[in-house]
């Protein structure tokens, strides 16, 4: 099944997508609340929605993120090719740190910055080097802790397309401090167009457990990147299992695959030795498609003006004992 969250006639609703129509669920029902109920609540509510006669055209609604405010977003760095290209762009060396091979690394990003599949995305303040990143996000369907990869597969309820927007010029100095990303990743994520349940994609799983789904990026109508999710260095099962070590993954949590090869402008810059294509600017249209899941497409718009920020004040007083 495919589940959407959408806005229609000023109200936020959830529903089941069938071809080009949405079958609405009762007002007040959300995908997150159904997922958090556990068991088969999401599927059962979907079956009831499909049995009803009321529908609305997908073209007549504004698609919101399937989970407008997920409990958490862990974003992995799962593609070796992406690490190579971005390292060349940011550090001048096309290499993968040895530590990357030891375990599937991730960071936490902002669950309050989620945009819908066709929403405008504003350039963040003080950013001159805006970039996109195409990923797939897995959605956790039930709680788990210290899972094996075999167990973890049963905890994934579905998948959605994920654009992890990046302000590269803000990101680079943040890396130097060693605390992880902050404002370079804080301003926008795009999720959508809907949540596709895991069973819909099982037939695309290869012998090694990877989902073989083509991922493509077009910029202003021109194809500039193509890869497959099967080129990730870890399966989603393995990434979920790692995320659950010593802690909980909870219903509604999102886990990003990491950016596929040629899935970000920074990779092109690193391999081309110049910023070609150039950083995103207002008016650019970024379209990401993942086979079996769907397409999201966002237009870049101007952001707010800069707000002055003072530098740190050096300590000028005698420390108290």
Q: What domains are there in the chain, each with its CATH number?
A: 2-64 (no CATH), 73-301 (3.90.850.10)
CA distance 181 to 174: 6
Q: Report the pLDDT value the prediction gives residue 134, as an integer from 0 to 100.
A: 98
Query: Helix 80-91 vs helix 265-272: angle between axes, to the nearest 10 degrees?
Result: 60
**DSSP alpha helices (H): ranges in the chain?**
31-37, 41-51, 80-91, 149-153, 168-177, 236-243, 265-272
**Is the pTM higher than 0.85?**
yes
Burial 136-163 (b: 16+ CB within 10 A, else e): bbbbbbeebeebebeebbebbbbbbbbb
DSSP 233: S
The residue count of the chain comes to 321
Q: Report helix, strand and coil shares of the chain as percent, to nearest 5.
A: 25, 30, 45
Q: Provide the CA 309 distance to its chain's centre, in angstroms.
A: 30
Predicted confidence (pLDDT) per residue in 35-78, tens digit: 999 879 999 999 999 999 999 999 999 999 999 999 999 999 99
Q: How confident is the model at residue 306 (pLDDT cuts 50, 70, 90)?
A: confident
Predicted confidence (pLDDT) per residue in 247-293, tens digit: 999 999 999 999 999 999 999 998 888 999 999 999 999 999 999 99
CA distance 272 to 266: 10
In sequence order, the 6+-apart residues with CB closer than 8 A to the CB of 115 are: 65, 121, 188, 189, 190, 191, 298
Judge whether 53 and 37 are in contact, CB under 8 Å: no
């Amino acid at each position: 099944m495919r589940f959407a969250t959408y806005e229609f006639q000023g109200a936020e609703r959830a529903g089941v997508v069938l071809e080009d129509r949405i079958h609405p669920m009762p007002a007040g029902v959300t995908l997150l609340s159904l997922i958090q109920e556990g068991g088969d609540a999401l599927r059962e509510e979907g079956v009831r929605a499909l049995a009803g006669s009321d529908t609305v055209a997908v073209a007549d609604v504004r698609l919101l993120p399937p989970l407008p405010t997920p409990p958490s977003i862990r974003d992995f760095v799962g593609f070796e090719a992406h690490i190579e290209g971005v390292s060349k762009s940011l550090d001048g060396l096309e290499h993968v740190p040895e530590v990357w091979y030891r375990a599937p690394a991730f960071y936490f990003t902002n669950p309050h910055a989620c945009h819908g599949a066709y929403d405008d995305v504003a350039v963040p303040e003080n950013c001159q080097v805006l970039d996109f990143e195409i990923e797939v996000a897995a959605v956790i369907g039930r709680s788990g802790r210290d899972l094996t990869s075999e167990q973890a597969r049963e905890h994934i309820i579905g998948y959605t397309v994920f654009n992890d927007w990046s302000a590269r010029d803000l990101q680079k100095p943040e890396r130097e401090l060693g605390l992880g990303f902050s404002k370079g990743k804080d301003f926008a994520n795009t999720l959508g167009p809907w949540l596709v349940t895991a069973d819909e994609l099982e037939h695309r799983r290869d012998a090694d457990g990877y989902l073989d789904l083509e991922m493509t990026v077009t910029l202003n109508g021109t194809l500039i990147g193509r890869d497959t999710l099967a080129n990730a260095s870890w399966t989603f099962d393995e990434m979920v299992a790692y995320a659950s070590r010593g802690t909980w993954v909870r219903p509604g949590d999102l886990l990003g695959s990491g950016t596929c090869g040629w899935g970000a402008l920074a990779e092109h810059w690193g391999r081309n030795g110049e910023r070609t294509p150039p950083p995103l600017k207002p008016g650019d249209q970024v379209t990401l498609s993942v086979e079996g899941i769907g397409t999201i497409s966002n237009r870049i718009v101007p952001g707010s003006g800069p707000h002055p920020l003072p530098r740190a004040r050096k300590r000028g007083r005698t420390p108290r004992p």
